[in-house]
Structure 1
Amino acid sequence: MLGKTLASGLRSLSVRNFRLFAAGQLVSVAGTWMMVVAQDWLVLSLTRDSAAALATVTALQFTPLMLFTLYGGRLADRHDKRRLLTWANTVSAALALALALLDLSGSARLWHVYCFALALGTVNAVEVPARMSFVGELVGARLLPNASALSAAYFNVARVAGPALAGLLISAFGTGWVMLLNAVSYAATVAGLRMMRTAELHRPERAAGRGGVTDGLRYVTSRPDLLLPVALIAVVGLFGLNFQLLLPLLAKTVFHADAASFGLLTTAFAAGSLLAALAGTGRRSRPSAGTVVLSALAFGVLETTAAWAPDFTSALALLALTGFASLYFAQAANHRIQLGSDPVYRGRVMALYTLILQGSTPLGALLVGALSQRLGARAGLLTGGLVSTAAALAAWAVVRRGIGRGEDDTGQRDVPERRPSHAHRHPTKGGTT
């Protein structure tokens, strides 16, 4: 029984292209999370623990997502996603290498980190919607829920390992070497992308006259079952999901921890997220509106509770639970939006999802950062938890009135498979290079 359950949870790995993608992403994302810890620690070291500086870096990194992600989704729907991802990861590696060399030479300044954050955010505006919609091309509609859950799982495995390892490496060698490892890690993703068999990708038909950003927005606004999770993501993302800013502040200003202990806080949050991702691998159909709303409510309550953690040990436990709820909510919303969207629009729909979830981070970082600067990191967590709880309760009232439900809530269980389109495949150059 256990073997069958495990095999069912890993069924997307039977697809060769997805195995290559997952392996490359596991290495690269671990490097990215090591970079996050190193970058945040460098900023705090350069500014004597300034919450405002940390908030500015976060805002600069996510502002391009807010401005350009919808255009990035348009690119993903109109162009070869594999090629877009190859270029995006190559540029990200070059940026990480440049900052690493500045840090190792002792020349790094705060404005260098600001420039790096802005440039990386610009690349991510193209990479994120392309990557999220590319999963459907790798495995097809039938395996998409499982593949999406496994993607969240390896993301959070990397999120657990990366910060923990970064904390130890920073203590031993400094932030520059960690940044250099991140630059090298991008090679794994690029290699996996170039080794794929493009003939096995599930590429949708591209309909003429449906390539614009406004067409994608019009499509989403015509679908109440998509609008409800998008609206909930907007509020929770703005106020509740600011942990990249709050965790280092909590570690240094509340618990007076070192780099290794900061890595443990991030690891605890990520470990909870990993368990949520593993729980989601058994999902075979589109989650209901009620599942999305109730998971948001659980997240809001747990974040509120975590704000009152009396000591470091209790903070670890509560942040693990909060991490579980945050990922379960984000994944449920992701699946509801993605599985309810026509593949022709999926790149733009997921770009909107990314815009709402991550593009709101600059505003959230500035608001919560200002609040934390004045009242402390606990106040930032408490505000995020209370607002998220209120938003979930309001969304539940809407669902109870029958608004925002789709056909899947009344009996439709399976997503129809869409076969690969041979007529619109891009020719390969030199096979699998």
Structure 2
Amino acid sequence: MSRVPTLPEEPSQERVARRRISPLRALRYRDFRLLWISLIVSSVGTWLQIVSQSLLVLKITHNSPIALGIVSLAQAASFFIFAFIGGSIADQSDKRRFLLITQSLSMLLAFILGIITITGIVQVWMIVLLAFCSGTVLSFDQPARSSLVPTLVPREDLMNAISLQSIVFNGSAFVGPTLAGVMIVVFSNARNGNSLFPYAGNFFLNGISFLGVLVVLYLLRIPQDAAEQSTARRGPLLASIRASLGTVRRDEALPWVLSGYGALLFFGPSNTLILPIFGTQILHLNAAQLGLLFSAAGLGTILGALVVASLGDFKYKGLLLLCSLLVWTSSLLIFALSHFFGISLLALLLFGISQNGVGATTITLLQTRVPPQMRGRVMSLNTLMIMGIRPLGDFPASGLIALIGGPLTVLLCAAIVGLYSLYLLLARPVLRTL
């Protein structure tokens, strides 16, 4: 079912003026606007499940951190196994119909988790299995979703649209955990003797949140040429994956862009790993102040997304990437050395802003420097890095923290990324001209 979307016609001068002043200009396009709004609801629902699932695992295992690690590892493993396959199949499919399938499966998995929880039969191995299945579905869903966006907005507004997409993820990460806690309290008051009812309630809410996305996907109007590119034959699966990797390898800039982003994700310890350690051992904060640390980093990512969104089709994307990497390194160094709460908050705010600058610029360059028919496969690289490399990097970082402490570990990680960023800036001039 292919329909031609109607994009607003504006005088060129007016379009240029609006592009400069409006960080929300991609929302002018009806299909992207509908998808964006529906994903806000779905992403908040996802965070309801993430937080509740972690608390459920701790409850049924009597606070075992190893069980939590196994659940996270199961989901990360699924991305390593299926990310490239998911991107390749997404490129060979009608993306709208493909997303209808993956979103339906995600909804089904949420309801299954809710059912086994509320009935009291849930066990850790079931949660591990469902986490692996959820990661597998996301391995197919995220490349298709990312490669769908360029068909909904014109090229000059693509970076704006990608930044607005990152606001969905980061904004839900800012709001979702708090809402999850509130809903657990609400459901606890109505649990009727079932101690697992509060967690199941959030799982069911997550399942319901997918309904809006499914309705919007059905209503999307995909351009005829994009639909034809999606359904064209691409050849055998392995050959298709090799072709996409070859496309990235032959590009003069993309291998270095991805290596810089990969260094940040692998060597940059996640907030959930370092903030509790610094908050309790270095800054000696109470629970409310520790929450402010998380909020500062989350607010930074939202502000970073708005800044990048306001730039539009920014000419010097490579310099933006490199500057963001260097600001990220500097802010992490300041945080590692800080013993003052206010300075730590400011450092985390800059940390979030710069990290979003790196991520949004990387995705934009991936989307614009490869042929449209390969976007899904190439975007699977981004999925693999975020969902696979980041959790993988936390394992050696946690061991290093145990050996030399949190501050020295963070200083070392920041130094590695900073030195590599300087190498990219000085030795790879192609990045300065992107």
TM class by shorter chain equals 0.7 to 0.9
2:297 to 241, 249, 269: 269
Q: Is the 8 A contact 1:136 1:202 kept in 2?
A: no
The 5-angstrom pairing of residues 344-363 of structure 1 reads 344-363=373-392
C-alpha change, 1:389 and 1:36, in structure 2 (3 Å) is farther
Q: Is the 8 A contact 1:292 1:329 kept in 2?
A: yes
CA–CA separation in structure 2 for the residues paired with 1:53 and 1:256 = 27
C-alpha change, 1:79 and 1:402, in structure 2 (3 Å) is same
3-state SS of the aligned residue for 1:191?
A: helix
Aligned: 1:335 with 2:364: yes
3-state SS of the aligned residue for 1:142?
A: helix
Q: Is the 8 A contact 2:47 2:173 kept in 1?
A: yes
2:419 to 371, 381, 393: 393
Residue by residue over 1:113-160, the C-alpha shift from the partner in whole angstroms, topping out at 9 and shown as x without a partner, is: 212211110001001111111111111323211111111123322222
CA–CA separation in structure 2 for the residues paired with 1:230 and 1:342 = 17
Aligned: 1:288 with 2:333: no
Deviation of 1:316 (Å): 5.3
CA–CA separation in structure 2 for the residues paired with 1:223 and 1:5 = 29
CA–CA separation in structure 2 for the residues paired with 1:93 and 1:229 = 34
Q: 2:50 matched to which residue of 1?
A: 36
CA–CA separation in structure 2 for the residues paired with 1:120 and 1:337 = 25
Aligned: 1:212 with 2:240: yes
C-alpha change, 1:44 and 1:124, in structure 2 (3 Å) is same
CA–CA separation in structure 2 for the residues paired with 1:144 and 1:70 = 23
Q: Is the 8 A contact 2:260 2:420 kept in 1?
A: no
Question: Which segment drifts farther, 238-247 or 131-140?
Answer: 238-247
* Unaligned segments of structure 1, at least 5 residues: 410-433
CA–CA separation in structure 1 for the residues paired with 2:337 and 2:114 = 37
Q: Is the 8 A contact 2:152 2:222 kept in 1?
A: no
Q: Is the 8 A contact 1:204 1:343 kept in 2?
A: no
**Which of the two has greater helix per residue?**
2
Q: Is the 8 A contact 1:301 1:389 kept in 2?
A: no
Deviation of 1:217 (Å): 0.6
Residue by residue over 1:142-181, the C-alpha shift from the partner in whole angstroms, topping out at 9 and shown as x without a partner, is: 3211111111123322222211211222344333322221
Amino acid at match of 1:397: Y
Question: Which segment drifts farther, 240-249 or 117-126?
Answer: 240-249
CA–CA separation in structure 1 for the residues paired with 2:243 and 2:317 = 26
Residue by residue over 1:275-323, the C-alpha shift from the partner in whole angstroms, topping out at 9 and shown as x without a partner, is: 1111111221354323212212222332344356658777655444322
1:168 to 182, 189, 193: 182
3-state SS of the aligned residue for 1:215?
A: helix
Aligned: 1:140 with 2:154: yes
Deviation of 1:51 (Å): 3.8
Q: What is the TM-score with the length of structure 1 in the denominator?
A: 0.81
2:395 to 354, 366, 375: 366
Q: 2:350 matched to which residue of 1?
A: 321
Q: Is the 8 A contact 1:237 1:358 kept in 2?
A: no
CA–CA separation in structure 2 for the residues paired with 1:175 and 1:312 = 33
CA–CA separation in structure 1 for the residues paired with 2:203 and 2:94 = 29
Q: 2:96 matched to which residue of 1?
A: 82
Q: Is the 8 A contact 1:293 1:392 kept in 2?
A: no
Deviation of 1:4 (Å): 5.2
Deviation of 1:62 (Å): 1.8
Q: Is the 8 A contact 1:85 1:127 kept in 2?
A: yes
Amino acid at match of 2:267: F
Question: Which segment drifts farther, 107-116 or 264-273?
Answer: 264-273
Q: Is the 8 A contact 1:153 1:274 kept in 2?
A: yes
CA–CA separation in structure 2 for the residues paired with 1:187 and 1:248 = 35
Aligned: 1:191 with 2:211: no
Q: Is the 8 A contact 2:57 2:68 kept in 1?
A: yes
Aligned length: 403
Q: 1:113 matched to which residue of 2?
A: 127
CA–CA separation in structure 1 for the residues paired with 2:315 and 2:419 = 22
CA–CA separation in structure 2 for the residues paired with 1:262 and 1:112 = 32
Q: What is the TM-score with the length of structure 2 in the denominator?
A: 0.81
CA–CA separation in structure 1 for the residues paired with 2:260 and 2:165 = 22
CA–CA separation in structure 2 for the residues paired with 1:143 and 1:190 = 25
Residue by residue over 1:61-115, the C-alpha shift from the partner in whole angstroms, topping out at 9 and shown as x without a partner, is: 1221122111111112111111111111111111112222333344433222212
CA–CA separation in structure 2 for the residues paired with 1:121 and 1:84 = 16
3-state SS of the aligned residue for 2:309?
A: helix
Question: Which segment drifts farther, 19-28 or 330-339?
Answer: 330-339
The alignment yields a C-alpha RMSD, in angstroms, of 3.2
- The percent of aligned pairs where both chains have the same amino acid is 28
C-alpha change, 1:265 and 1:249, in structure 2 (3 Å) is same
C-alpha change, 1:155 and 1:214, in structure 2 (3 Å) is same
* Unaligned segments of structure 2, at least 5 residues: 1-13, 189-197
Q: Is the 8 A contact 1:35 1:179 kept in 2?
A: yes
